[in-house]
Structure 1
């Protein structure tokens, strides 16, 4: 699983919990997973614009893959939270989301693009991604559908492959690039701590901050040239 480092680390973590339980039950003497090193694969990166466009083009109109993509990119929420969104959670402007990871209930303003897109989605159940009239689709089922699109456009594997969680990252970086402060970004993404927001937006903030001193340096050089 070296090409899916985050999944590999997750498996090791689960296995370690099971082994600790086995030690407590005196089935084994020690936890054999304790010294297994985690794989590294870098940080999540903003999806290049051309890859976003390629994904859009490969999706059928109002397909479950496109719905998930638009929800994640438009609201900045995790994939699992987007999958569980109901029709009644959207009032035309604001989307109510109960975050699975934090149990926090937040309301996120939906940008015009998302509002317009959702108007084109036919209603087939209580959820946006409906399995039947009362239940939403399973996360793994949706992930497999997304993986098929990613494979079709050539971004399923490789060290620098963009991953679906990158849609959330792309939303956060887009906000940072537009000059939104960390509190504002936090109000959209629902991160519990500003340190997590900083992790997502550090690259965009650094890029924007570099413009000011470089511009000042250029202007200073011009002033010296006039003397």
Structure 2
């Protein structure tokens, strides 16, 4: 039987070979090069299925080095590194649950953008740039450096990965920051125009005096009409916080889009970074005077409001679960006139 003519498709590096078994012409992409004085060749079979458009697509994938047969399975990825760290009992048994959750948040942020990227290709400049971009949230920025360094050392020392020098080592941290600024009342008043999930987060933080991440993980099932059961991530302790009337009404009217008050779907809460990003967009639109305020500042405002209402330090601690030193610090920021009125009212 005489062979039929080759398909009339001619491209540089495209060669046709006769498949005797199936009696068809099969296209291959061929690359020739010289290495160490020796001539070398690599061919990649193109499964074109008789479709010229598909052949064109596969051909250009090969030209770009992106054909699936040209790319080896990724090694030493951030996903592999973080998974190994999370599943290592030697590491996990030494860490408190709160510490693990703290690292986990930063690791999830790393995975969002770098999951399948080769850890070895991470440059010092890239780490420095990412750290600088988070300067507005210095604690988060320094936690990022700390987490990258921890993972890098784990990969090099425990997994024997060929990583080279730690790119996060020696980059200057922003260091210990001044305490969060409590929100001014004018900014609280602006919440009525904020995106729904930003306002909901703010109401939960201010009403319960808890951290933003604790507010994000509040479920409708945790609220019994008066009390909200809250998990303090630092102490890994669940506490019951009595909700003021305004918060009770707000929760009762909140749309039930899932198990969580701040629901992503039926079973998951919104992510911290999603709420934080929406908050910053809303805050920045308020003007430069709002720039210094963050969600955590509402937790501090709750201390001030409780102090101005005449609450003792012990009562404030019972609500917010903050240290005596922190309560004393923010009590000093409370309005002297409001404190005076509350004190004199007690004389009645």
What is the TM-score with the length of structure 1 in the denominator? 0.76
Partner of 1:218: none
Cα distance in 2, alignment partners of residues 21 and 156 from structure 1 = 43
Q: Which runs of 5+ in 2 are unaligned?
A: 1-131, 341-348
Unaligned runs of 5+ in 1: 212-227
1:203 aligns with 2:203: no
Which of 289, 295, 308 is residue 164 of structure 1 equivalent to? 295
Q: Could you say which residue in structure 2 is the equivalent of 1:224?
A: none
Change in 2 beyond 3 A, CA 1:129/1:156? farther
Question: Contact conserved, 1:19 with 1:33, CA < 8 A, in 2?
Answer: no
Give secondary structure in 1 for the equivalent of 2:307: helix
Question: Which has the bigger relative contact order, CA under 8 A and spacing at least 6?
Answer: 1
Tell whether 2:295 aligns with 1:175: no
Q: Are residues 42 and 108 of structure 1, via their aligned partners in 2, closer, same or farther at CA, if it must alter by over 3 Å?
A: same
Deviations 1:129-159 (A, max 9, x none): 112222211221122222221122225974x
Counterpart for residue 6 of structure 1: 139
Deviates more, 1:95-104 or 1:162-171: 95-104
Cα gap change, 1:157 to 1:73, in 2 (>3 Å): closer
Is residue 189 of structure 2 the alignment partner of residue 59 of structure 1?
Answer: no
Q: How far is 1:79 from its partner? A: 1.0
**More displaced 10-residue stretch of structure 1: 130-139 or 146-155:** 146-155
Higher helix share: 1
Distance 1:59 1:105, change over 3 A: same
Equivalent residue pairs, number: 205
Partner of 2:179: 43
Structure having the higher strand fraction is: 2
- Deviations 1:98-152, CA, capped at 9 Å, x for gaps: 2223211111111111112222212121111112222211221122222221122
**How far is 1:69 from its partner?**
1.1
**Pairing partner for 2:244 from 102, 111, 136:** 111
Larger of the two Rg values belongs to structure: 2
Q: C-alpha distance in 2, partners of 1:13/1:70?
A: 31
Shift of the 34–83 alpha-carbon distance from structure 1 to 2, 3 Å rule, reads same
Whether the 8 Å CA contact 1:131–1:137 is kept in 2: the answer is yes
TM value normalised by structure 2: 0.52
Aligned-pair RMSD on alpha carbons?
Answer: 3.1
* Deviation, structure 1 residue 37: 4.2
Change (3 A) 1:182 1:130: same
Which range is displaced more, 100-109 or 8-17?
A: 8-17
